[in-house]
Amino acid sequence: MEALGITLQQLLTQLVSFLILFFLLYKLAYGPIMGMLDSRAQKIKESLEAAETARLEAASSAERVEAEIAQARVEGQKIVAEARDAASKLREQEQDRAREEVETMLERARTEIGREKDSAVEEVRKEFANLAITAAERIVERSLDAKSHSSLIDKVLEEGLSERKN
Amino acid sequence: MGKLLSSPKLLVIAIAAVAALLVSVAGGALGASFGLGFLGGPIPFISIPAERVAFIGSYPLLNSTIMFWVGGLVLLFVAWRAGRNVKDVPSGWQNLMEMIYEFFSNTVDGVAGGEPKSGRRFLALVSTIFLVVMIINWVGILPGVGSIGRIETIEEWVHHHVEDLEAEVHEEHPDYSPKQVHSIALIHLLEEHGDDTFVAFDGVFVWLGQGEQARVPLRHIVTFEDHELHDLADEVKHGEDISHDPVWERIEHDIHEGVVKEVFTYDLGGPSQTPYDFKGQTAGLLVPYLRGASTDVNTTLAIAIVAMLTVQIWGFRALGVRGYGGKFLVNPISQGPIATFVGVLEGFGELTRTISFTFRLFGNMFAGEILLIAMAFLLPLIGIIPFMGLELFVGVIQAYIFAMLTLVFGVMAVASHGDHDSHAEEH
């Protein structure tokens, strides 16, 4: 012990010095740094959690927007389809009505033509009766052979035709 | 080589380096053999105990204690700068301290089982041991530490040693008067240390050039014959007053004067050398003002005691008095005598760990100090440069070893003894 220089006095000096140093280091550095590191770890954990929440929120809102867009698209398609249906129905109605009108007009024209024809035929018939009567009068007035008979009819017809022409 | 020649700067540096090497070889111990050795200094007296440089009251202040406090102040300064205003975004000193702290935080957790914070109880002591040991190792190799000092005269040297011896003599012979005690102590000192050597120096300047060889044994400074000392001791033991004995008076006078009395020559070797005569020169010891704290056994023993006591405290707190004490005191009847013997061995193991802690650090750092002294002696100027780097490395490695062993012993202490035993009991 003597040769190594170990003395109780010096041993205690170094022991106490070391313990004081330990205590002061703890107070000055370890304590503050330990507390700061813990609080920093806590902060990092919190911000990671907040970021995760924000990410989830963003994802869910994007989903919602997409769903809304899809719904709007479906609705739009429905509206277009409805409009197309209505338009085609309207067109059909218009066509039907136009066809009906045409038919009505045709019908009316046909009726008119028929009536005109009837009246014309009536008139012709009347005329022919008159002519026949006239022809008969003439025949009666004269004795007639067969030949003169037919020439007489032709003459009457010619007269009648020329009269009509005039 | 071509690069060296083409660059004048490199060439100048190379020439300067070669010149420095030549100067240091010629000026050092090698050159001294050929009459050069102009840069040589005396190898300081390598004393294992730290030297006292002053007294504060009756408290002897050792040079190693001063360096312990210097290192402590450096450490406290860094800690204060790092910890006075901790911020979440670290800068400067805080970065450094945080880096060290996180490194040890991860290490202790890793050694203590890998769970985060599982090693936190070890953290403060382990990192303190590392920082303190590293800083005292590093400040201990600063230039000037161990090499700047004063010459302790023979009178001072004798005074300190006689004081220590007086206590021993007083214990052995409580019936002696103080004067008798003093005389016997002085006689013992001369008998034991007659062949100790001292540096001879001329006036205030240490005689340079011969290094360790320039040493004069105590017998040539304080002249005495062994039989004279025997006679004096006998006279003192019989209660005679020897203060006017001519031999005693001569011894006291020689001690007071402290110069080389007898012709003491030393053949320096070499063809042109004449033996050097030290007669009439003052002799003494170089006492460095500063000495690395880890080159003092008191320091390393103190840290080892703190470490091993704390390890025991960890053990008792983790396992309880019965659990931890049961590691060392095993019942020979229920567990068998071999287990008891093993337990006693484990107890001795704690003691030997303390001792191995002490001398591992002390031995490494003291050897480093001697290595630096030897290199400064062999190759002055440049010899110590690579070894300074080596010592910085050794300083941090030893600090790391000390801290890690403390951690490992702590982890072993808190681990319950023989986990397989408790499992066997459960099944």
Asked if B278 and B298 sit in the same domain, the reply is no
Q: How many C-beta atoms lie closer than 10 Å to residue B380's C-beta?
A: 23
B75 interaction partners in chain A (CB closer than 8 Å): 21, 25
Q: How many C-beta atoms lie closer than 10 Å to residue B18's C-beta?
A: 10
User: Please, what is the Cα angle at A72 between A70 and A75, to 5 degrees?
Assistant: 110
Reading phi first (left if > 0) and then psi (alpha if -120 to 50, else beta), residue A21 is in alpha
Give dist(CA B28, CA B276) in Å, integer. Answer: 18
Whether ipTM tops 0.85, in short, is no
**Which of B399, B315, B392 lies closest to B357, judged by CA?**
B399
Separation of CA A10 from chain center: 102
Q: CA distances (Å), B199 to each of B148, B196, B218, B289, in order? A: 15, 10, 10, 17
Asked if B352 and B230 sit in the same domain, the reply is no
State the DSSP H helix or E strand holding residue B282, giving kind and residue range, or none if neither: strand B282-288
Residue A122 belongs to a domain: yes
Q: What are phi and psi of B205, to 5 degrees?
A: -95, 130
In total, how many domains does chain B have?
3
Section A106-128 average pLDDT: 92
In total, how many domains does chain A have?
1
Question: What pLDDT does residue B334 have?
Answer: 83
Residue A19 belongs to a domain: yes
Q: Please tell me whether residue A144 adopts helix, strand or coil conformation.
A: coil
State the DSSP H helix or E strand holding residue B245, giving kind and residue range, or none if neither: none
Residue A79 belongs to a domain: yes
Asked if B420 and B310 sit in the same domain, the reply is yes
Q: Which residue is listed with tokens 């105990």?
A: B49
Residue B181 belongs to a domain: yes
Give dist(CA B221, CA B206) in Å, integer. Answer: 16
Question: Final residue of a domain: which of B236, B266, B288?
Answer: B288
Give dist(CA A25, CA A21) in Å, integer. Answer: 6
Instruction: Enumerate long-range contacts of A88-91, CB under 8 Å, 24 or more apart.
Output: none
Asked if B350 and B380 sit in the same domain, the reply is yes
**Which candidate from A4, A13, A29 shows the least CB-CB separation from B49?**
A4
Are the Cβ atoms of A4 and B132 closer than 8 angstroms? Answer: no
Section A83-107 average pLDDT: 95
Residue A87 belongs to a domain: yes
Are the Cβ atoms of A5 and B296 closer than 8 angstroms? Answer: yes
Question: What pLDDT does residue B214 have?
Answer: 59
Q: Tell me, what amino acid is at A112?
A: E
Number of residues that this document lists for chain B? 427
Q: What are phi and psi of B268, to 5 degrees?
A: -80, -10
Asked if B91 and B188 sit in the same domain, the reply is no
**Which candidate from A14, A24, A29 shows the least CB-CB separation from B298?**
A14
Min Cα distance B157 → chain A (Å) is 15
Give dist(CA B390, CA A132) in Å, integer. Answer: 162
Are the Cβ atoms of A30 and B124 closer than 8 angstroms? Answer: yes
**What are the pLDDT digits (tens) for A145-157?**
667 777 877 888 8
DSSP string, B324-388: HHTTT---TTTS-HHHHHHHHHHHHHHHHHHHHHHHHHHHHHHHHHHHHHHHHHHSTTTTHHHHH
**Which candidate from A4, A14, A35 shows the least CB-CB separation from B302?**
A14
Question: Domain range for residue A135?
Answer: 8-165
Provide the 8-state DSSP code for B262: S
CB B274 within 8 A of CB B171: no
Section A50-73 average pLDDT: 94
Question: Domain range for residue B31?
Answer: 12-41
CB B303 within 8 A of CB B133: yes
Question: What pLDDT does residue A105 have?
Answer: 94
CB B160 within 8 A of CB B136: no
Tens of pLDDT along chain B (427 residues) come to: 566 667 778 888 889 888 888 888 777 766 666 666 666 555 556 778 888 788 887 788 888 899 999 999 999 998 888 888 777 777 788 888 888 888 888 888 888 877 777 788 888 899 999 999 999 999 988 887 877 777 788 888 888 888 888 888 888 888 888 888 888 888 888 888 887 777 777 654 444 444 445 577 888 888 888 888 888 888 888 877 777 788 888 888 888 888 887 766 665 554 445 556 677 777 877 788 888 888 889 999 999 999 999 999 999 998 888 888 888 888 888 888 888 888 899 899 999 999 999 999 999 999 988 888 878 777 777 778 888 899 999 999 999 999 999 999 999 888 875 544 444 444 4
Asked if B114 and B237 sit in the same domain, the reply is no
Residue A92 belongs to a domain: yes
Nearest CA in chain A to B293: A14
Question: What pLDDT does residue B300 have?
Answer: 93
Q: Which of A21-30, A73-82, B30-39, B209-218 has the highest mean pLDDT?
A: A73-82
Residue B420 belongs to a domain: yes
Sign, CA dihedral B147-B148-B153-B158, equals negative
Give dist(CA B68, CA A17) in Å, integer. Answer: 8
B88 interaction partners in chain A (CB closer than 8 Å): 36, 39-40, 43
Residue B48 belongs to a domain: no
Section A70-85 average pLDDT: 95
Residue B1 belongs to a domain: no
Give dist(CA A53, CA A59) in Å, integer. Answer: 10
Give dist(CA B62, CA B84) in Å, integer. Answer: 32
